[in-house]
Structure 1
Amino acid sequence: MKKRYAICGVSGRALGMFVKPIWSTFSATCEVVGLLDVDPVRFDTYRTRFPEHADINTYGEDEFHRMVEETRPDCIIVAGRDDTHARYIIAALERDLDVITEKPMVISGEQARQVMEAEKASKGKVTVTFNYRYGPVHTKIKEIVASGKLGRITSVDLNWYLDTFHGSSYFKRWNRQRELSGGLSVHKSTHHFDLVNWWLDQKPVEVFAYGALNYYGAEGEANPKKEDGRFCGICDYTSQCEYYSRWNSRSKNIRVPDDHLGNMEAVKNVFPFSEYRPDRCIFDSDIKIEDTYTATIRYNGGALLSYSVNFSLPYEGYRLAINGTKGRLETVEYHMPARTPFPTPVQTIDYFPLFGSKETIHVVHREGGHGGGDPLLIEDLFLGEDQYRPYKILSGAEDGAYSVATGEAVWRSVKEHRPITIEEVLGGHGSKEAVTSTAGKGAAD
């Protein structure tokens, strides 16, 4: 019998990451039985993309329970706007259904607490699709830390960079509203916090952060004119906007770039979905979230993380160092070499023993999205987790909760000018005390 999936949020991510592989690769064991979305035009997009399955049942945003009754799914896939996640995750768990959800799992610590409590009372379980875990370099780092090669982990330095194309895209879309996304320390940085939590096998305890809105919003230095309500496709100042002209040519028939995910291109300046444009002006005065953060995070195994992220830089990637009692690991990644305006090297990992010679570790790279991580994640989702992998890699509700809570603690620390504990963000569910790590594992006792 095939496993039945219903989709809440017919986004480009839902269609490309979940629906397409279900029908193209896993159709012998899986099927999509229902779609739910606020915008019926998205159902037309599904039918265009998958005409052989055009008779699928569709439902409005308030018809979750009717969808479950009529389609009898085994699992709900939640892939809509971030602020909708908690509603459908909890509703699915209350019906003892499994859930696969896009990151971030939810947008606040309070919602994360509610999800964990709902899962505890349910026969269903939550899986959060943290695909960064599956990148070949990232799995190799996990293996190195777990092997004890670095000893007990003492500190981590992680600096993440987004270029002027990718970084600015969040400020054109709904992500720029904290009430819809949790802010970028939640929507984006949960990826990064989850990686560190997973690498170290430790939980965050306390966060202190600084942050600011440096590039975007009405006071952005590159703003060609202080005027709200503009859209890139019909703006009179695109030739004076460096963020626009860097990525667009005057001779292009379609001046407006798509929504970064490649799913929503305009035709004659008309976007396919109702009442939504992904080309709002990045200099609007209603932008209040931060585009720059630095944070120090303390973990329950004794490790300390020094983290920064910047959403407007010349290139995209990150720099990572992990320090332990036996040595240090370093790596640098350039995410988008096709957009990077200079040659970039293939990513390797450098290991420096505390006493000894440097070792450079080369990693076999894979094809596929997110550094080759997406195809492996999809296999684990629809075939079951690889039983021969020596470590757990699929993320659950607790993983999602700790990453979201860290993100909220970051922006709250910025606003409140004080350290924020994960326990207070999660309403008593966080780790309270720092404990000594197991030497060689970097894990909490």
Structure 2
Amino acid sequence: MKKRYAICGVSGRALGMFAKPIMSTFSARSELVGLLDRDQARFELFRTRFPEQQEIGTYGEHDFARMVEETRPDVIIVAGRDDSHAKYIIAALEHDLDVITEKPMVTTGEDARRVMEAESASKGTVTVTFNYRYAPIHTKIKEMLLEGKLGRITSIDLNWYLDTYHGSSYFKRWNRVRELSGGLSIHKCTHHFDLVNWWIGQQPVEVFAYGALNYYGAEGEANPSKEDGRYCTTCEQTAECDYYSRWNSRSKNIQVQDDHLGSLGAVKSKFPYSDYRPDQCIFDSQIDIEDTYAATVKYSGGALLSYSVNFSLPYEGYRLAINGTKGRLESVEYHMPSRTPFPTPVQTIDYYPLFGSKETIHVVHREGGHGGGDPLLLEDLFMGEDRRRPYRILSGAVDGAYSVATGEAVWRSVKEHRPVTIGEVLKGAFSEKVLSLSGKGVAGE
């Protein structure tokens, strides 16, 4: 019998990452039965992309109960704007349905606690789609740590870089409003915090951070003029905007699309939404989030993370080092060689035993998004987790909550100029009852 899926939030991610695979690669065992969104135009976009699927039921943002009653889904996929996640995750759990949700699971520690409580009272479970775990280079690091190559983990250095193409895209879209995204310490950095949690098998305890808005917003140094309400596809100052000029030809007929829009990009400056444009000016005064962070995180097993992220740099990627009582590993990744203005090496892992010779490890690369992680994640989601792995890799609600709480603690520490504990962000959400739920385990298990 096919498993039935309904999607809440008909985003580009929902269409490409979930709807299309359900109706193609995994159609033998999966079926899409319903779509829910606040914008009717998104249903038209779905029908345009998938003209053979005209009969799938569509529902407004307040019609969740009716959708469940009429379509009888087994699983709810939550892939809309971040601030909508909690509402639909909790509603699904109240109907005893399983949930697959995009990261971040929610946008606040309070909502993370509410999700945990709803899951503990439900027959359903929550899966958070942290696809970075599935990149072959990242699973190899996990395996090395499980093998004890580094001994007890003492510290981690993780510096993440987003280039002016990708980094600026968050400031064109709804992500730039904290109320909608939780800020980038949640929307984006939860990916990074989850990776560290999973790699080292420890839980974050306390955070201290600094952060600032250095590049974007009205005070951005590259702002051609202080003026609100501009849009990239109609702006008359694009020639004076370095961020626009770097990635776009002077000819309006040759225009690089934002990598998060893909086939949803503008056609003659028109977007397939009723009340939203993803080409807003990156120098608008509406922006109320940071674009630069530096943080220290203390973990339950004694490890310390030194983390930074910057959303406006010449190239994209990260630099990682993990230190332990038996050695150290290092890895450097350039995410988008095609956008990097210099030659980039293939990513490897350098292993330095505390007493011995350096080893360089070459990892088999895979095709697909997020370093080859997306196809593997989809197989686990729609075919069941591959039990041959000696470790858990699908993320649960506890994992999602820890990553969100770390991101909120970063922001609160920036604003309050003090260390912030994960406990105060989650307010006791991780009771013994919650943590003992089968299949809903702690990060790194």
Distance 2:71 2:259 in 1: 31
Q: Which residue is 1:55 aligned to?
A: 55
User: 1:264-323 CA deviation, whole Å, 9 max, x = no partner?
Assistant: 211111111111111111011121210000000000011000000000000000000000
Deviation >2 Å, runs of 4+: 254-261
1:185 aligns with 2:185: yes
RMSD: 1.3
User: 1:310-367 CA deviation, whole Å, 9 max, x = no partner?
Assistant: 0000000000000000000000000011111111100000000111100000000000
User: 1:160-186 CA deviation, whole Å, 9 max, x = no partner?
Assistant: 000000000000000000000000000
1:110 aligns with 2:123: no
User: In 2, are the aligned partners of 1:256 and 1:279 still within 8 Å (CA)?
Assistant: no
User: In 1, are the aligned partners of 2:165 and 2:258 still within 8 Å (CA)?
Assistant: no
Amino acid at match of 1:190: T
Q: What's the secondary structure of 1:145's corresponding residue?
A: helix
Task: Please state how far the C-alpha of 1:256 moved relative to its aligned partner.
Answer: 7.1
Q: Which residue is 1:132 aligned to?
A: 132
Distance 1:423 1:283 in 2: 36
Amino acid at match of 2:299: Y
User: 1:368-387 CA deviation, whole Å, 9 max, x = no partner?
Assistant: 00000000000000000001
Q: Which residue is 2:274 aligned to?
A: 274
Distance 1:291 1:194 in 2: 20
Q: What's the secondary structure of 2:197's corresponding residue?
A: helix
Distance 1:357 1:330 in 2: 14
Amino acid at match of 1:193: F
Distance 1:256 1:372 in 2: 23
Task: Please state how far the C-alpha of 1:255 moved relative to its aligned partner.
Answer: 4.7
Q: Which residue is 1:207 aligned to?
A: 207
Q: Which residue is 1:75 aligned to?
A: 75
User: In 1, are the aligned partners of 2:248 and 2:254 still within 8 Å (CA)?
Assistant: no
User: In 2, are the aligned partners of 1:209 and 1:410 still within 8 Å (CA)?
Assistant: yes
1:360 aligns with 2:336: no
> Is the alpha carbon distance of 1:179 and 1:142 closer, same or farther for their aligned partners in structure 2, counting shifts above 3 Å?
same
Q: What's the secondary structure of 1:161's corresponding residue?
A: strand
Amino acid at match of 2:74: D
Q: Mapping of 1:32-431 within 5 angstroms? A: 32-253=32-253, 255=255, 257-258=257-258, 260-429=260-429
Give the number of aligned pairs.
Answer: 434
Q: What's the secondary structure of 2:393's corresponding residue?
A: coil
Distance 2:258 2:273 in 1: 13
Task: Please state how far the C-alpha of 1:66 moved relative to its aligned partner.
Answer: 0.3
User: In 2, are the aligned partners of 1:136 and 1:364 still within 8 Å (CA)?
Assistant: yes
Task: Please state how far the C-alpha of 1:391 moved relative to its aligned partner.
Answer: 0.6
Q: Which residue is 2:4 aligned to?
A: 4
Distance 2:444 2:325 in 1: 15
TM-score for the superposition, normalised by structure 1 = 0.96
User: In 1, are the aligned partners of 2:117 and 2:429 still within 8 Å (CA)?
Assistant: no
Amino acid at match of 1:233: T
Task: Please state how far the C-alpha of 1:54 moved relative to its aligned partner.
Answer: 1.1
Which residues of structure 1 form unaligned runs of 5+?
A: 432-442
Q: Which residue is 1:20 aligned to?
A: 20
Percent identical pairs in the alignment equals 81
Distance 2:264 2:314 in 1: 25
Task: Please state how far the C-alpha of 1:82 moved relative to its aligned partner.
Answer: 0.3
Q: What's the secondary structure of 1:310's corresponding residue?
A: strand
Task: Please state how far the C-alpha of 1:250 moved relative to its aligned partner.
Answer: 1.0
TM-score for the superposition, normalised by structure 2 = 0.96
User: In 1, are the aligned partners of 2:161 and 2:317 still within 8 Å (CA)?
Assistant: yes
User: 1:367-425 CA deviation, whole Å, 9 max, x = no partner?
Assistant: 00000000000000000000111110000000000000000000000000000000000
Task: Please state how far the C-alpha of 1:187 moved relative to its aligned partner.
Answer: 0.1
User: In 1, are the aligned partners of 2:294 and 2:307 still within 8 Å (CA)?
Assistant: yes
Which residues of structure 2 form unaligned runs of 5+?
A: 432-442
Q: What's the secondary structure of 2:262's corresponding residue?
A: coil
User: In 2, are the aligned partners of 1:183 and 1:290 still within 8 Å (CA)?
Assistant: yes
User: 1:190-222 CA deviation, whole Å, 9 max, x = no partner?
Assistant: 000000000001000000000000000011000
Amino acid at match of 1:317: G
Task: Please state how far the C-alpha of 1:444 moved relative to its aligned partner.
Answer: 9.7
User: In 2, are the aligned partners of 1:259 and 1:279 still within 8 Å (CA)?
Assistant: no
